[in-house]
């Protein structure tokens, strides 16, 4: 039995653990993979306050050690279900843990293109976050894959940094807001590659080009670029807990800025929550809020 059980050891979960431990609450963190979440694969973080140019691994390790030194316990097991009650029972494949409050900080995984070499080129030309990594591609040629608001916003952001931006979309129309698309079309250094898919990554250590295939004609074109920003959506890790939390159409847990869900004693923090901005700093903020709310709940 612990006071607060946190599912997920990314920036949101680790920050929640720090706040819970500092409030002298017994704290257990369950993590299915390794601590740090997605940020651990980022070679250089440039937009986190007070910590410019720190690697994702260094950031995550420092955060993990801080939580551990304060007394947080860690078990590297995947939570598969939660039984509600005055005491929450969290089940993994190996064990069952009891807690008075639970924080879901499971995050969201970027939906991938599924192309050979994509995983190995993350941080070497392939990115899933333009605002995180765009600054590394100043005056270079880049491409964005996707057709929603995120893809168009990424292309707009990159257009002010990069030499050339290709927007590659599998259709000839966009899901993005028309006003955003109009703004993008006004950018002279943006080129639209429509009805096309990225079908191959060309690299020698780092990304050098992408092969693009026209869906209608089958024609293949090679675009020489140094950066590919994939913006084809995210997959939140909430499915196992949908009986306790309301999910929106995208699978994100419905919770406001207080991180409370519909189930008393169950909170949500980080990229798996409904929110406008999903960044490292907002994940950490969610962790602080969720832990504070859980502490208040335990005192009520």
Euclidean distance between CA atoms 139 and 79, whole angstroms: 44
**Is 138 exposed, middle or buried, given 0-12, 13-18 or 19+ CB atoms closer than 10 A?**
exposed
> Between 11-22 and 56-69, two packed helices, what is the crossing angle to 10 degrees?
20
Residue 157 Cα distances to 57, 106, 134, angstroms: 26, 28, 8
Distance of CA 141 to the CA centre of its chain: 25
Euclidean distance between CA atoms 189 and 184, whole angstroms: 10
Q: Which residue out of 3, 21, 133, 259 is catalytically annotated?
A: 133
Query: What string of DSSP letters covers 3-51?
Result: EEEEE--SHHHHHHHHHHHHTT--EEEE-SS-TTGGGGG-S-B-SSTT-
Are the CB atoms for 259 and 101 separated by under 8 Å?
no
132: annotated active-site residue: yes
Q: Which residue out of 3, 129, 259, 286 is catalytically annotated?
A: 129
129: annotated active-site residue: yes
Q: Which residue out of 3, 21, 132, 154 is catalytically annotated?
A: 132
Instruction: List active site positions.
Output: 129, 132-133
């Amino acid at each position: 039995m612990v006071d607060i059980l946190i599912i997920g050891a990314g920036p949101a979960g680790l920050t929640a653990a720090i706040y819970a431990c500092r409030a002298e609450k017994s704290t257990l963190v369950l993590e299915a993979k390794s601590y740090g979440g997605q940020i651990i694969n980022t070679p250089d973080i440039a937009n986190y306050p007070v910590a410019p140019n720190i690697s994702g691994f260094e950031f995550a390790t420092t955060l993990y050690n801080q939580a551990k030194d304060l007394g947080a316990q860690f078990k590297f097991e995947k939570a598969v279900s939660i039984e509600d009650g005055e005491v929450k029972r969290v089940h993994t494949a190996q064990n069952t843990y009891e807690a008075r409050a639970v924080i879901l900080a499971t995050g969201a995984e970027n939906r991938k293109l599924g192309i050979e070499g994509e995983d190995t080129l993350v941080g070497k030309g392939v990115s899933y976050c333009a605002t995180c990594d765009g600054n590394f591609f100043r005056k270079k040629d880049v491409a964005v894959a996707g057709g929603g608001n995120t893809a168009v916003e990424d292309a707009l952001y990159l257009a002010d940094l990069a030499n050339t931006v290709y927007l590659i979309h599998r259709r000839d129309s966009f899901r993005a807001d028309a006003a955003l698309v109009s703004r993008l079309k006004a950018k002279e250094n943006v080129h639209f590659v429509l009805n096309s898919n990225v079908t191959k990554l060309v690299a020698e250590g780092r990304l050098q080009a992408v092969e693009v295939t026209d869906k209608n004609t089958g024609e293949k074109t090679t675009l020489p670029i140094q950066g590919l920003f994939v913006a084809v959506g995210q997959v939140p890790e909430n499915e196992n807990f949908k009986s306790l939390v309301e999910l929106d159409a995208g699978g994100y847990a419905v919770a406001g800025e207080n991180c409370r869900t519909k189930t008393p004693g169950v909170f949500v923090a980080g990229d798996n929550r409904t929110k406008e901005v999903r960044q490292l700093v907002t994940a950490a903020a969610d962790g602080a809020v969720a832990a504070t709310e859980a502490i208040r709940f335990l005192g009520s």
